[in-house]
Amino acid sequence: MISLLKRFRRTQTNGGTEKEHDKEEGASKTEYDDEEPEEGKPVSRPKTSSCRLSRSQSTTLGQKRLMKEYQQYSTNKSDYFTVELVDDMLTNWNIKVSKFDPDSHIAQDMTRMGIPHVVLNAAFPDDYPLRPPFLRVVCPRIDNGFILRGGAICMELLTQKGWSSAYTIEAVVMQFVSTVVKGKGKIAKWGKNKEYKKKDAEKTFREVVMLHDAKGWRTPPKWEG
């Protein structure tokens, strides 16, 4: 964690020259605070400035947002999940979800099979939070619960059309928990210690997005919860 913070601060320092260049070009400046600009809406700016964020500015916003959230979840432990960096990379997280509705199939299976948590992987794009992270299940393998081949997750929130920059990782995790319970997800009998493959999840998720782009996303009736 210490090395990550040092590298993050060094990145911010080295970015000074690039920021000065943007200033000479008349580019707009936007600092991340508690409210991010909504996708597709121009950032508040002087009339003489550009309304679009440069790639370097967008990346800087994403780094600040990720660092803030990572520090929050590392310091204030949640009852539902914990996070850790993969290979000390700020843009690649493993998320261990340990709590589901105790009456759900998946919670009962986890207790019976001695599984402490469901491991998710979140890969963040350079322009996060303007685009969603790619979230997938790593292990154990889950039947039903809107978990598809490769550990892909069928959730509109994870698509560009369903995503909002206001969503936090905590909100994404809680939506995942709700989705799995609603879909009656359960641990596959033969999949306790087997991990999904990332390339399979990516392929499946692309296919799911294409299907729903063509046919729309189904809103379940109230009796389904």
Q: What is the CA radius of gyration of the chain?
A: 20
Residue 134, classed as helix, strand or coil, is strand
Q: Return the C-alpha torsion angle 186, 194, 212, 42, nearest 10.
A: 110
What's the CA gap between 149 and 146, in Å, rounded?
10
Query: Residues 83, 95, 138, 154: which is the catalytic one?
Result: 154
Write the pLDDT tens digit of every residue in 78-106: 889 999 999 999 999 999 999 999 999 99
Verify whether residue 139 is a known catalytic residue.
no
Taking all residues of the chain, what is their mean pLDDT, rounded to a whole number? 80
Q: Tell me what the mean pLDDT of segment 194-201 comes to.
A: 96
For residue 51, report the phi and psi dihedrals to the nearest 5 degrees. -90, -5
- Structure tokens that stand for 63 in this block: 């780094």
* pTM metric for this prediction: 0.73
Which CA distances in Å does 198 have to 84, 127, 202? 18, 21, 6
> Which of these CATH numbers, 3.40.50.12280, 3.10.110.10, 3.40.50.970, 3.40.50.150, describes 63-224?
3.10.110.10
Write the pLDDT tens digit of every residue in 28-67: 343 334 444 454 444 444 343 333 445 555 567 788 999 9
pLDDT score of 61: 77
Residue spans of alpha helices (H) in 115-224: 169-182, 198-215
